[in-house]
Amino acid sequence: MEDRSPEPETPLTEPRPAETPGEEVVPEAPAPRLNQTRTGIKPKALPEAEADLADPSLYFNRELSHLQFNIRVLEQALDEAHPLLNRLMFLLIFSSNLDEFFEIRVAGLKHRVALGDDSTDIDGRSPSSVLAEISQTAHEQIERQYRILNELLLPALEERGLRFRRRSEWTRAQRDWVRGYFDDEIMPVISPIGLDPSHPFPRLVNKSLNFIVQLEGKDAFGREGGLAILPAPRSLPRVIALPAELCEEGFSEAVFLSSMIHAHAEELFPGMTVRGCYQFRLTRNADMTVDPEEVSDLASALRGELLARRYGSGVRLEVVDTCPDELAAFLLREFALTADDLYRVNGPVNLTRMMALLGDLERPELLYRPFTPGLPKSLRKDGSLFNAIAAEDILLHHPFQAFSPVEELLAEAARDPSVLAIKQTLYRTGADSPIVNSLVEAARGGKEVTVVIELRARFDEADNLALASRLQESGAIVIYGVMAYKTHAKMMHIVRRERGRLRHYAHLGTGNYHSKTAKLYTDYSLLTANAALCEDVHQVFQQLSGMGRARHIETLLHAPFTLHDGMVAMIEREAEHARKGRRAHLIIKCNSLTEPKLIQALYRASRAGVECDLIIRGMCCLRPGISGVSETIRVRSIIGRFLEHTRVFYFQNNGKAEVWGSSADFMSRNMFHRVETCFPLLDRKLAARVRKDLETYLVDNCQSWRLQPDGRYIKQLPGDAAPISAQETLLYAYAAKA
């Protein structure tokens, strides 16, 4: 367990002195120590001739880097540049992200340790040492999260008329209303479980809210009181708004379900005395593994795995901080966890469920100002989208520009009698998707519709199984890609008869076919009728649906065949330009950078003198700024209103610049274990526009964090310069003007 010895508290909003002008070291955000020991190991400064690019000191640990990204998300809850409710949302997103981090990353590390696998990865860290550091950092940050909630956000919300009522603060009328709600909504669906030899400890669903209850007295059967478990009904909201007439004038008020249950727990055990009632929540291993050599039906195998996911092995136990030590120890034993896995929290143990309430609040002044996504000039005219795309390639930058043209293209294709065939990949699409509706309509209308659905998109498996069934019932051909490789490419291919000949159209994207996330994630969409690009998209679909040797792809790069080598070759080409004394520059923007050979290619490019600007939102295992290795590499992470999701790559190439968009991150899984596409922007105007977008990110001094050689991220501040937010700049440039 973490060290709980008293320490002087740092005010939550008071920054430490900046190390250099225009930079801020954010308080109370100790960076995970990555490759450092407790005393700190400085990265080696290696002369070019001696540099061993496989040296572990040149790499950060990916899990610790991932955790640090989540800390940068939490930092947004302190940033007063965000509206108040959005600051609360960032705090809740931190909880959601951390849940998945424990369910997948921590669970995987624990599994390796349980198997006796203490081997090191390229960063030189063993699973057991990484787990120890995760525990220390996560304890620090979760404690800090609840301080931010209780000491800053909740008081600030109350000042603006939004109040979360504690039990001790309920008025008489509110107590009466809560009793009625408990009797009518909670009592009929809650099931207390006494613990005795005939009632063993129940199997509790992953991340469910539960209470452990201490009882005294005898029950109806004469059994002596002891312990009981109260699982909170999963069908009920975790935060309940109080009726307006019960709220103080000028306030909207809400209570937590946990407070209601706690207040009336004794009614669930008539004749007995409740001596204690304490919230807890167990996070379980939620990773799913399907062995391709042992599966004959992927859909059936996944349905079985989905049931098992709810009851995987425990990885984290959260309890309210008032829970007695002996009860916490009892729960740890039941879940086969250690003291390092225990997290005591000062508030609800399931903060993520507060998100539902935010969607119901009508307080626009406390949220980001709404905007209307823009459209390129070529799409502002009435007429067929096919005509517009045939005239020129169209590039959309979401969410600044609308995702609706992609949906409308498919809708038009579904209705157009000249369209013969539609092929589509689906990874994360949404339960009620216009994309799927159009595919269903097209299939029912007699068109040849082929859909490659990736059933194994993590946490979307159930939705994708339902989508597959719906599409199959409509007459579409549904395939699940290649068993050993997730299909992560974002492609659409449409074949249309025009003037007696077949014309091909394609969409290639960096993000998913998901209407909701297209409003929240930054991504690019390319709509094209370029014959070479469309033929390559057709060939990739042929690979996915058929069998045979890899086909020759002319224009696209695609994983697992040519993407990795192609990226290394372009980085090496830039290095060769630098060696010959030419100006050399590359910009890589993606979500994660962890693949060792790509990192080593970037190190070699830096040693050759290439200026390397990396915009990496999340995990980054590359260590910048090391003498003789990465002196010319700069790494930024942009965290703001929208989730940065674009994967785009710029190479100066001695004045013959190339710009590529991709569905893939610079990770081993994307390069070698997934089907991915990487597409060039052949239209020079579109390529120049993307480069300008990238340069906007490079001058951001409001939402940008610079990675330091020792692993810290330092937030960039305007100082005396004009403040520049890349996302706000792009919003102004592309969104429809009011």
User: Catalytic annotation on 488?
Assistant: yes
How many residues make up the chain in this entry? 738
**DSSP percent split of the chain into helix, strand, coil, nearest 5:** 40, 20, 40
**385 with 505: CB under 8 angstroms?**
no
Q: How far apart are CA 92 and CA 70, in angstroms?
A: 11
Residue ranges of alpha helices (H) inside 396-483 are: 404-415, 434-444, 461-474
Quote the tokens at residue 303.
């349905």
What 8-state DSSP symbol labels residue 383?
S
Q: How big is the CA angle at 120 (ends 118 and 125), to the nearest 5 degrees? A: 100
The one-letter amino acid code at 428 reads R
Tokens of 364: 């626009």
DSSP string, 242-264: PPGGGSPTT-EEEEEHHHHHHHT
Query: What kind and span of H or E run contains 157?
Result: helix 154-159
What is the CA 378 to chain-centroid distance, rounded?
A: 33
Give the tokens for residue 350: 């399931």
Whole-number Å distance between alpha carbons of 477 and 453: 10
Catalytic residue among 66, 139, 488, 493: 488
How far apart (Å, rounded) are the C-alpha atoms in residues 61 and 130?
A: 8
The Cα-based distances of 142 to 28, 147, 338, 339 in angstroms read 12, 9, 18, 16
Residue 459 to residue 480: CA distance in whole angstroms: 16
Q: Which three-class secondary structure state does DSSP give residue 668?
A: helix
- Count of CB atoms situated within 10 Å of the CB of 120: 13
Name the token pair of 548.
């045979």
What's CA 5's distance to the chain center, in Å? 34
User: Taking a C-beta distance cutoff of 8 angstroms, is the pair 342, 357 a contact?
Assistant: no
Closest CA to 647 of 657, 660, 637, 658: 660
Which two structure tokens, joined as six digits, stand for 55? Answer: 């040296």
The type of residue at 442 is A
CB 43 within 8 A of CB 710: yes
d(CA 464, CA 75): 34
199 secondary structure, DSSP code: B
Report the SS3 class of residue 308.
helix
Any residues with CB less than 8 A from the CB of 442 and at least 6 apart, and which? 410, 413, 414, 419, 422, 449, 476
Alpha-carbon span 337 to 492, nearest angstrom: 47
Strand order in the sheet with 162-164: 162-164, 252-256, 239-241
Residue 101: φ, ψ to 5°: -60, -45
- Contact of 646 with 524, CB cutoff 8 Å: yes
Cβ contact 550:673 at 8 Å: no
Amino acid at 103: E
In angstroms, the CA 682 to CA 529 distance is 12
Strand-pair partners of 635: 614
Residue type, position 203, single letter: R
Q: What residues are labeled active site?
A: 488
